[in-house]
Structure 1
């Protein structure tokens, strides 16, 4: 049987074997959900207690260690679960929400900012814990980076297409535009990471002013007219 230490070839993510019994499946799912909630609440893996996980999940220490070698491995599996859900949500939003089908650069730019802010708000504790862990174990932030790389594959081409619409774009100019879009997105993510680690600052993740303020700055970084 595979354990959480077994890994896919070429992947840094742990492979978690699916329990065969329905009761074991339910117990595993409950441990992961409880762990996710506790991590989100504390924002620090050091505060995560295995005893709290199994007590709130209604399982046992033995059940935990049959699946996870230690707390770090458990955290990696929770990370993978949350990032998979986040990417699925992003794909659904990009495919179905009207703002993402817009040909207006400002509308699309605003939608990108709103989506990133929502992601940071929804996963505030997990991101904070991941960043803290990355100071001890550099790979702790890798799951978030990989998810963002996949997000960029959806976002960058849309922004480039809308920003370049109606203009004759040579290959060098198109490459320059894509570079500018990626830089603007890097600044956006960097601002949110800084906000997360130094909250409260001039703007909090919970502030009503955060989204419109960041939308204004993102538009400016893309050389769009101010709102």
Structure 2
């Protein structure tokens, strides 16, 4: 993880880390938190275990974070900042990928599932915190909006000029299905499919494709650059 993700980390209860040593300790704590959240809940994550995993003293934690809740916000912001950079660095909307919409959605969903698997513990903790504090989900909600904003023109371009006026809303709702389904899988795992099932990305991509295709016009989803 690039230490530059700490730049502009202006959150309540998070104290600036200006010196190299302080920034290194903050980054080590964040990386340790992400690792520990893979196999335990946020409630079960103790500050002592976190500091031990990061190789820092407990005092170093409180020198940078007022509480566990403030730490969670910092981890969220760092992960969201890194993900937003990746989104912004991807294909510009005015340059269509040389593939069909089916293939594009398959790749997009595969990447989305992979990212959520990597940050499953953080996302689950954020969803649970959002039950008592709606702001706990705000960074991840804004990341989802950025993804839709950047991807919508690409999908509309792949649909081609025959797409109906209903296509943009169909694309937005398809993303809502994607985000909602994955979040529900991580939060309560209702089954029969879960986020770690091999079939999940393919089935979600197909559901998105069929919805978009039905709203945009039959056959439009197979259009791609000539």
TM-score (norm 2): 0.81
- For residue 160 of structure 1, report the CA deviation from its aligned partner: 1.4
Q: Distance in 1 between matches of 2:138 and 2:12?
A: 9
Relative contact order higher in (CA < 8 Å, ≥ 6 apart): 2
Q: Distance in 2 between matches of 1:107 and 1:61?
A: 48
Task: From 67, 70, 85, give the equivalent of 1:70.
Answer: 67
Q: Distance in 1 between matches of 2:54 and 2:99?
A: 47
Task: From 189, 195, 203, give the equivalent of 1:213.
Answer: 203
The residue aligned with 2:3 is none
TM-score (norm 1): 0.81
Gaps of 5+ in 1: none
Q: Distance in 2 between matches of 1:14 and 1:39?
A: 21
Q: Distance in 1 between matches of 2:47 and 2:109?
A: 36
Deviations 1:19-54, CA, capped at 9 Å, x for gaps: 32x332222221111112112332x22111111111
Instruction: Verify the 8 A CA contact 2:37 2:121 in the aligned structure 1.
Output: yes
The residue aligned with 2:109 is 113
- The root-mean-square deviation of aligned C-alpha atoms, in Å, is 2.7
SS at structure 2 position matched to 1:47: coil
Instruction: Verify the 8 A CA contact 1:110 1:215 in the aligned structure 2.
Output: yes
Q: Distance in 2 between matches of 1:36 and 1:14?
A: 19
- For residue 121 of structure 1, report the CA deviation from its aligned partner: 1.3
Gaps of 5+ in 2: 1-5
The residue aligned with 2:186 is 196
Q: Distance in 2 between matches of 1:15 and 1:69?
A: 6
Structure 1 segments, 4+ long, off by >3 Å, are: 12-16, 224-227
Q: How many residues align?
A: 208
Between Structure 1 and Structure 2, the one with more helix by share is 1
